[in-house]
Amino acid sequence: MFLVSSVSVPLDSNARVRFFTRPYEFNYFTWTINAFIAKISETGLDAANHIPESIQLKVVTSYFDLSSELDSIEFDIQLIYADPSITDPDTIAADKIKKRGELQTMLDQMSPVVEKILENQVKTVLAEEGLDLGGQTIPPVLYHTTPLPKALIVSPREIIRQDANISLLADMSLEQITKLENDVESNLNVSALVVDIGGVGMYPSMVMRSSNLPWVIQTIAHEWTHNYLSLHPLGLNYETSNALRTMNETTAAIVGEEISKKVIARYYPKYSAVHQKVLAKTSSVQSEETFDFNAEMHITRVTADNLLKLGKVHEAETYMESRRLFFLQNGYLIRKINQAYFAFYGAYADSPQGAAGADPVGPAVRSLRANSSTLKDFLRQIAWMSSFDQLVSRTR
């Protein structure tokens, strides 16, 4: 009985990384319980049936106008505290801080009604696309406005691949973020990056407060798509491979964008008109300028991939840092570009250019959508896939 021995069990990537992240990890269980309590308390509002549509639209636009005002106030406060010439920022910023509190209280009071209205509008458009059963989407559209957790993304240094994605507290300081990244990288010899996210496919979905109405609607539809896919093979296999993760994220991005455009066109045409003017102005500016962010990011990803394939890890990391400085010189502030950066952002491959580089998954998903007669046809085809090979066979 004394002749025994012990052998340590190798930890997977998440377990090894969580040795460093446990003090900062986000508690989804508590959030979900509180969110469900909040949503249950909203059921009596039934804003879609008890408030005339014209009033609903005014409530939503007022909410986003106030949200825009809050963003402006917060920016002003940051400028005051960042100005070294101001010796007493607390006094100078007092009125703005008071105003910020008043605006936040108003938004908190309006949020339940706005959530119900937007949920119903997204549900209506999804139903018109045939993505319903007896007039009800499955699962029902349900989201809650909340500060979003951050995410620690971990990739090997030798190849761009997401090995860990761990949710962290929303209010981590930059000092804490930097220390965590450095600890993980130095101890595990990996690439690490803490990123901000705009939504999480929990149920109810988590969506951050924003003054950008089209983006919020897009995020609601994006996260609903994740919840829909979670009832099918594609969503159930989300973590199986990087290819399936990219298929999931690209599908959700495509659905979110299409539904958002239709909701805006139907309920908020003035936003649609403004958006078209912004696009026209942006296109005009881009035609005069030589810098194209997505194209340059595509080049960065492809070059980094090629260097890594040759085993030139240090050269790839040096190159990515030089490109970060290049983006900064052209007006784009990116805190860090590394393997983890591309492992995260490369999964959103709904655009031909960008962080996905030459990854064939995104083009295959876009091809399936282009060859599908309706959004319903596209979504129901891809939802039942459980491998990239199945997608390739459908798009040949």
pLDDT averaged over every residue in the chain? 90
Confidence band (pLDDT; 50, 70, 90) for 47?
low
Residue 44 within any structural domain of the chain: no
Top-confidence residue, 353 or 286: 353
**Among candidate residues 115, 365, 126, the one with its CA nearest the CA of residue 224:** 126
Residue 5 pLDDT > 70, yes or no? Answer: no
What single-letter amino acid sits at 236? Answer: L
Residue 3 pLDDT > 60, yes or no? Answer: no
Over residues 134-146, mean pLDDT:
91
Over residues 85-103, mean pLDDT:
93
Residue 363 within any structural domain of the chain: yes
Residue 10 pLDDT > 80, yes or no? Answer: no
Over residues 99-120, mean pLDDT:
95
Residue 370 within any structural domain of the chain: yes
**Among candidate residues 253, 155, 143, the one with its CA nearest the CA of residue 200:** 143
Residue 284 pLDDT > 80, yes or no? Answer: no
Name, of 38-52, 69-83, 264-278, 372-386, the range with top average pLDDT: 372-386
Residue 64 within any structural domain of the chain: no
Q: How many other C-beta atoms lie within 10 A of the C-beta of residue 80?
A: 18
- Taking the C-alpha atoms of residue 56 and residue 116, their distance in angstroms, rounded to an integer, is 10
pTM equals: 0.88
Among 41-50, 76-85, 204-213, 376-385, the least confident range: 41-50
pLDDT of 7 reads: 44
Among 266-275, 320-329, 356-365, the least confident range: 266-275
Residue 204 within any structural domain of the chain: no
pLDDT of 395 reads: 83
pLDDT of 8 reads: 45
pLDDT tens, residue by residue, 194-234 = 999 989 988 999 999 999 999 999 999 999 999 999 999 99
Range of the domain at 311: 212-395
Give the total number of structural domains in the chain. 1
pLDDT of 1 reads: 40
Q: Among residues of the chain, what percentage have pLDDT more than 90?
A: 76
pLDDT of 351 reads: 86
Among 240-244, 283-287, 369-373, the least confident range: 283-287
Over residues 263-268, mean pLDDT:
96
Residue 110 within any structural domain of the chain: no
Q: Return the biggest CA–CA distance within the chain.
A: 81
Residue 75 pLDDT > 70, yes or no? Answer: yes
Residue 280 pLDDT > 60, yes or no? Answer: no
Confidence band (pLDDT; 50, 70, 90) for 2?
very low
Residue 218 within any structural domain of the chain: yes
Over residues 45-70, mean pLDDT:
88
Contact 276, 282 (CB under 8 A): no
Confidence band (pLDDT; 50, 70, 90) for 278?
low
Among 31-45, 72-86, 272-286, the least confident range: 272-286
- Taking the C-alpha atoms of residue 135 and residue 124, their distance in angstroms, rounded to an integer, is 8
pLDDT tens, residue by residue, 156-195 = 999 999 999 999 999 999 899 999 999 999 999 999 999 9
Q: What is the 3-state secondary structure (H, E, C) of the chain?
A: CCCCCCCCCCCCHHHHHHHHHHHHECCHHHHHHHHHHHHHHHCCCCHHHHCCHHHHHHHHHHHHHHHHHHHHHHHHHHHHHHCCCCCCHHHHCHHHHHHHHHHHHHHHHHHHHHHHHHHHHHHHHHHHCCCCECCECCCCCCEEECCCCEEEEEEECCCCCCCEEEEECCCCCHHHHHHHHHHHHHHHCEEEEEECCCEECCCCEEECCCCCHHHHHHHHHHHHHHHHHCCCHHHHCCCCCHHHHHHHHHHHHHHHHHHHHHHHHHHCHHHHHHHHHHHHHHHHHHHHCCCCHHHHHHHHHHHHHHHHHCCCHHHHHHHHHHHHHHHHHCCCCCCCCCHHHHHHHCCCCCCCCCCCCCCCHHHHHHHHHHCCCCHHHHHHHHHCCCCHHHHHHHHC
Residue 182 within any structural domain of the chain: no
Confidence band (pLDDT; 50, 70, 90) for 15?
confident
